Chains A and B, each alone.
Chain A
Amino acid sequence: MGVVVALTMMLAVASLFVGISDVSLSTLFGAGAHDRAMRVLLVSRIPRTAAILLAGSALAIAGLVMQIIVRNRFVEPSTAGTTESASLGFLVVTIFAPGWPLMAKMLVAAVFAFAGTALFLRILRFVPLRDVMLVPLVGIMLGGVIGAVTTFFAYRFDLLPSVLAWTIGDFSGVLRGRYELLWFGLAATILAYVAADRFTVAGLGRDVTTSLGLNYKAVMTFGLALVAVISSVTLVSVGSIPFLGLIVPNVVSLMVGDNMRITVPWVAALGALFVLLCDIVGRIVRYPYEIPIGVTVGVVGSAIFLYLLLRARGSRG
């Protein structure tokens, strides 16, 4: 754990000094153009690094919460229709109320994300034979259907470019005043830690939960609300980052097991570290151009997802 935190700290500091504008210790504190360097640092680099840490840990936690509630290792916002629903909500509010503040738009997206995930869980109820692989499969397809609706309306209202922009996550547009909503993600992460035991119990099913004296419906609703808020906040602030909530909890589970009290901090730290690493790589590979985080994580994430799938081949159930 200490190693992960230390690494994250080091990379976070490095992230402050990687980019097109020359920001380094000598330009910050040396003679000459240091106020410009300071401004870049305060307006762009620090917010960007904060956004990376917040989004990375929150998305990883969202995936963890979903996996526990649905009791399936391969569920996360992008394999349950959550991300696509949030995207549809954001599009609807952009069409009908373009003047609303970002906060209100985010809330509409969150409501849609919640409804979409609830629909996914409802569909799962009609699948009597719960094959492990079937759950993410239905989720990805549902996401595709909802995505098609979004594309259609975006196409009718000439909003396709902006929809494409927020479907690929990108931190390069993060500036001071444009990312503060992500702090909600941190609040959701802390709540997830506090409610960890309840989610674990809820994962055991309705009967067990009720007999242990917990309100099953309330716990489920709370968990889904957390996931919906995290997904919509990150979507509205930086765009969608696929598979992050899937791979990080799975890797943590391989490393330290499945006790929620232990795994939540690990998942949060590793999620932040992973996104930070991918973003710095994306900034360096094609300097001075940047590769958006959604693309980088898409490559690494789908590769790790494939590995996890083929690893699980032997076990059915």
Chain B
Amino acid sequence: MRSGRAAIVIAILALLALVSVAAFLTLGARGSWSFVLSFRGKRLLALVLVAYAIAVSTVLFQTVTNNRILTPSIMGFDALYVLVQTSVVFFLGTQMLVLADPHLRFLAEVVVMAGFAWILFRWLFLGEERSLHLLVLVGIVFGIFFRSISTFMQRILDPNAFQVLQDALFASFQNVDTTLLGVSFALVAMASLVLWGVSHTFDVLTLGRAQAVSLGVDYRRTVMTILTMVAVLVAVSTALVGPITFFGLLVASLARALLGDSLHRHVLPAAVLLAIVALVGGQTVLERVFSFDTALSIIVEFLGGLVFIILIMRGAAR
């Protein structure tokens, strides 16, 4: 029965995702089709990449940390990425941003980011058992801390450098940075391959550390591998559209609620499809129907915050 329901849910979501994609590409298009399709196709690819990266990284992060509330972005991950970018400009000057090959710079930033994330997680999750609420709170405050330092550095930069940095950092669903599409795609593919290699352990990891170890999982290595790949995925999505705090939490929670189970072979595709529907579909509706542009991230933030409060309260009531 279970897998029957999952199959139906995933089929419906796939259909919705296809409809969103078609609508995104064709609605309100005028003029030369080849131009429209290539222009929108790039944006579409970027949005789909972002949706995939956020959904997969959130679900797996929750698997590894064994909870349903924490997500990489709540743990201050995208803020960390912004901090890395700011530090590059701060210590190496704007020439880095202008002269260096953006692909190389992006790769270097992703490496630094993954390294940082790795240290942070080792310290937070592989030590003693800690209270979940403490971890969440520490994550949020880390995020605020990273953002404050970034802002501080940006204020110290001279106004011109600040402007350059603003342009580099400011991205939205509206104007996706398409220069990094190729390298982003390669990174996401690489991360997916690595994760595929350890995918047989996902469901076992959900049982918790002691169980996973007794069932023969090389716990430390597997968890560190997954967390590093999560860091890469988050870096990619932040580089493409900027920080979005609650999107991952929304799709992961919603996917589990729709499926009624938490097997990864169901949850992962469902979450990815949901993310595509929400991003591509939401963007299409807002752009073509309401002609808002940057409002999608605000709406996601609002709903996500509510879901978060409800989850926290349900968890506390248990």
The one of B133, B145, B306, B312 in contact with A302, judged by C-beta atoms closer than 8 angstroms, is B145
Question: Which of A128, A299, A301 has most chain B Cβ within 10 Å?
Answer: A299
Chain A residues within 8 Å of B308, by CB: 141
Contact with B along A211-249 (1 / 0, CB 8 A): 000000000000000000000000000000010000000
Q: Check if A145 sits within 8 Å of B148, measured CB to CB.
A: no
Q: Do A155 and B156 form a contact, CB below 8 Å, given A128-B316, A142-B309, A298-B151?
A: no
Which A-chain residue is minimally distant from B294 (CB atoms)? Answer: A155
Chain A residues within 8 Å of B138, by CB: 306, 309-310
Assess whether A33 is interfacial by the CB under 8 Å rule: no
The one of B133, B147, B298, B299 in contact with A133, judged by C-beta atoms closer than 8 angstroms, is B133
Chain B residues within 8 Å of A128, by CB: 316-317
Which A-chain residue is minimally distant from B301 (CB atoms)? Answer: A148
Q: Check if B298 sits within 8 Å of A138, measured CB to CB.
A: no
The one of A149, A292, A302 in contact with B141, judged by C-beta atoms closer than 8 angstroms, is A302
Q: Do A137 and B156 form a contact, CB below 8 Å, given A145-B309, A148-B298, A306-B142?
A: no
Q: How far apart sit A129 and B132, CA to CA, in the bound complex (Å)?
A: 13
Q: Check if A292 sits within 8 Å of B155, measured CB to CB.
A: yes
The one of A145, A292, A295 in contact with B306, judged by C-beta atoms closer than 8 angstroms, is A145
Contact with A along B154-182 (1 / 0, CB 8 A): 01100100000000000000000000000
Q: How far apart sit A145 and B159, CA to CA, in the bound complex (Å)?
A: 32
Q: Do A298 and B144 form a contact, CB below 8 Å, given A129-B316, A291-B152?
A: yes
Contact with A along B240-282 (1 / 0, CB 8 A): 0000010000000000000000000000000000000000000
Assess whether A144 is interfacial by the CB under 8 Å rule: yes
Number of interface residues of A (CB under 8 A): 43
Which B-chain residue is minimally distant from A152 (CB atoms)? Answer: B298
Chain B residues within 8 Å of A305, by CB: 141
Q: How far apart sit A205 and B57, CA to CA, in the bound complex (Å)?
A: 43
Assess whether A285 is interfacial by the CB under 8 Å rule: yes
Q: How far apart sit A285 and B142, CA to CA, in the bound complex (Å)?
A: 24
Q: How far apart sit A295 and B140, CA to CA, in the bound complex (Å)?
A: 17
Which B-chain residue is minimally distant from A136 (CB atoms)? Answer: B137
Chain B residues within 8 Å of A145, by CB: 301-302, 305-306, 309
Q: How far apart sit A134 and B159, CA to CA, in the bound complex (Å)?
A: 40
Chain B residues within 8 Å of A141, by CB: 305, 308-309, 312
Which A-chain residue is minimally distant from B148 (CB atoms)? Answer: A298
Query: B243 to chain A: closest CB distance in Å?
Result: 13
Q: How far apart sit A299 and B83, CA to CA, in the bound complex (Å)?
A: 13
Q: Check if A137 sits within 8 Å of B301, measured CB to CB.
A: no
Chain B residues within 8 Å of A242, by CB: 144
Q: Check if B134 sits within 8 Å of A127, measured CB to CB.
A: no
Which A-chain residue is minimally distant from B300 (CB atoms)? Answer: A148
Assess whether A29 is interfacial by the CB under 8 Å rule: no
Assess whether B149 is interfacial by the CB under 8 Å rule: yes
Q: Check if A133 sits within 8 Å of B137, measured CB to CB.
A: yes
A interface list, Cβ under 8 A from B = 74, 123, 126-129, 131-134, 136-138, 140-142, 144-145, 148-149, 151-152, 155, 242, 285-286, 289, 291-292, 295-296, 298-299, 301-303, 305-306, 309-310, 312-313, 316
Interface pairs A-B: 10 shortest CB-CB: A298-B148, A133-B133, A145-B305, A302-B145, A148-B302, A299-B148, A148-B301, A144-B305, A291-B155, A302-B144
